[in-house]
Amino acid sequence: MRHTLVACLLLALFTGCSSNKPAESPSNPAQTAKKSEPKQPEYETGRTAFQKMYLAARLWAPDIKPFRLQSQYTPDAPVNEGKAGLWRASFASQAKHAMKMFIWSGLVGPDAPEQGVTFTAEDTWSPTNSSTQAFELGFLKIDSDQAYEIAQKHGGEKLLKKDPKQPVFFVLDWDARKSTLIWHVIYGTSMDDAQLRIAINATSGEFDRVEK
């Protein structure tokens, strides 16, 4: 009987304590709102996006060298700042005799690539192929925003006066004939429909030529 009484008292004590326990506070409203906020698009200059892809590419092969960097035009991108929401960088590995493309995306939407850095499958690579000739990082001193400003002074401004929404994208590669790293500022959505292509020395920032 005594044991039963003690058990009842203990039960009453624990029940009373649990009934007086304050309710758990709800999750932080600010954190909840932050989680529910939709992702916003991000845009970067060529060198900034390139650096992100380069770090990822080093995990694939420590001896990598780049041979091409190219942006993709999207209507909302601030091209007048030399920025894009999608950049592709192609790297070659002498040790692997292979090349691999890395993609940085800041875009959002149902058809947009995942934000961040992704990559494609390996492909064979030959150092004798002039179209995929790798270059040293030290040659890249001029960013895409600077290349855009120079291109504007050599025909770009006239096109934008006619069409303020003129598409522009950027290609960086090695000019084997001149042994020079070149930024190609291309006014159009592709090489085929380009109205103007301006070549800028990516090391010195000097105007090189009008390609079209």
Dihedral, CA atoms, 200, 146, 56, 66, nearest 10 degrees?
10
Structure tokens at 184: 């190609």
Enumerate the domain spans of the chain. Answer: 44-210
pLDDT score for 111: 87
pLDDT score for 98: 97
User: Is pLDDT at 15 greater than 70 in this prediction?
Assistant: no
Instruction: Tell me what percent of the residues of the chain surpass a pLDDT of 70.
Output: 83
Question: Of the candidates 129, 124, 104, 125, which has an alpha carbon nearest to the alpha carbon of residue 114?
Answer: 104
User: Is pLDDT at 17 greater than 90 in this prediction?
Assistant: no
pLDDT digit string, tens, across residues 67-114: 999 999 999 999 999 999 999 999 999 999 999 999 999 999 888 899
In which band, very low, low, confident or very high, does the pLDDT at 18 lie, cut at 50, 70 and 90? very low
pLDDT digit string, tens, across residues 150-176: 999 999 999 999 999 999 999 999 999
Question: Of the candidates 207, 154, 212, 203, which has an alpha carbon nearest to the alpha carbon of residue 174?
Answer: 203
Q: How many CB atoms lie within 10 A of CB 14?
A: 10
pLDDT score for 212: 77
Q: How many CB atoms lie within 10 A of CB 53?
A: 23
Distance CA 204, CA 147 (A): 10
Question: Of the candidates 109, 129, 138, which has an alpha carbon nearest to the alpha carbon of residue 38?
Answer: 109
